[in-house]
């Protein structure tokens, strides 16, 4: 049986509870939800902060990095006094300050093929807020194999992309969208190419919106559609994202049935070499 609300919760979530479509039932689903954010940087910051504010009961944070001064132009979960701290610790403090009712679970580690199943297994919804291709393919494959929804967001300079991958039901995955990663060196990273500071705020907020919709069952999820946006022209466009029956992970006869070496897949020398 679902628990009731405390007096504090009724006040805190009043604007959701009175909102047609969310209501007490939707808010209760949020309180019972478990969402994992892979990355606590530009995308992960607004995602985790809005999910905490919305009362998502348990939020997981995965990041191995420490806060750098150059992160603060966009990674709003971290502040000046956090420079040098592990990002998951800094972000956890921010989330608890927003909403002390939220349980925050931290993974101060690099997600890998060795630990991905163990890390992802306890969660209802996974958010992709990483900054590199190997982990994006890893998170895609692991969520497909575990049957967990993945809320995808990605940015480059002034441009963003977002969609939701729902395993099963002949729905597309990240490999249906981009079957292969670009060769190393062809797409500069944020460190090399720069990034418009508010852009991850836009895309991360869209990811948080989709996560909340998945949890509450509200509206139409961004499934089978890819949102493309350009902050320079403020052009938002959705294009069709089709399931690929020949996809090696979610197709009719999958050929990738266990996690692989994603750095090798992306043409990057292994960390051991």
Binding site for another protein (CB under 8 A): 39, 41-44, 128-133, 136, 153-159, 161, 177-182, 186-187, 189-190, 193, 195, 200, 226, 228, 230, 232-233, 235, 237-242
- Quote the least distance from Cβ 155 to another protein, whole Å: 4
For the CB of residue 17, give the shortest distance to another protein in the complex, in Å.
32
Is 13 or 196 the residue whose CB approaches another protein more closely? 196
Q: Which CB atom, from 100 or from 197, has the smaller least distance to another protein?
A: 197
Structure tokens at 233: 């022209």
Q: Give the integer Cα–Cα distance in Å for 88 and 106.
A: 6
Nearer to another protein, 31 or 247 (CB): 247
Considering the complex, state which of residue 23 and residue 251 has its C-beta at the smaller distance from another protein: 251
Q: How far is the CB of 212 from another protein (least distance, A)?
A: 19
Nearer to another protein, 30 or 38 (CB): 38
Q: How far is the CB of 211 from another protein (least distance, A)?
A: 15
Strand partners, 255: none
Task: Using the minimum distance from each CB to another protein, give the nearer residue, 124 or 159.
Answer: 159
Q: How far is the CB of 182 from another protein (least distance, A)?
A: 4
CB of 267 to another protein, least distance (A): 11
């Amino acid at each position: 049986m679902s628990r009731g609300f405390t007096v504090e919760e009724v006040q805190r979530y009043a604007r959701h509870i009175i909102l047609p479509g969310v209501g007490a039932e939707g808010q209760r689903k949020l309180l019972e939800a478990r969402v994992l954010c892979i990355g606590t940087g530009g995308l992960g910051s607004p995602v985790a902060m809005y999910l905490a504010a919305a009362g998502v009961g348990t939020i997981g944070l995965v990041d191995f990095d420490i806060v750098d001064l150059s992160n603060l132009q966009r990674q709003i979960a971290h502040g000046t006094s956090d420079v040098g701290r592990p990002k998951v610790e800094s972000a956890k403090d921010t989330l608890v300050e927003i909403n002390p009712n939220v349980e925050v679970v931290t993974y101060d580690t690099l997600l890998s093929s060795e630990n991905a199943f163990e890390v992802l297994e306890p969660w209802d919804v996974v958010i992709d807020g990483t900054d590199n291709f190997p982990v994006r393919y890893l998170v895609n494959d692991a969520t497909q194999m575990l049957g967990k929804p993945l809320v995808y967001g990605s940015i480059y300079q002034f441009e963003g992309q977002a969609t939701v991958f729902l395993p099963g039901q002949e729905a597309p995955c990240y490999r249906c969208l981009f079957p292969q990663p670009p060769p190393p060196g062809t797409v500069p990273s944020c460190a090399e190419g720069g990034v418009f500071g508010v852009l991850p705020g836009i895309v991360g907020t869209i990811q948080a919106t989709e996560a909340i919709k998945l949890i509450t069952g509200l509206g139409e999820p961004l499934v089978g559609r890819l949102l493309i946006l350009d902050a320079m022209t403020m052009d938002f466009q959705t294009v069709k994202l089709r399931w690929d029956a020949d996809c090696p992970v979610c197709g009719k006869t999958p050929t990738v049935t266990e996690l692989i070496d994603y750095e090798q897949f992306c043409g990057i020398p292994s960390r051991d070499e």
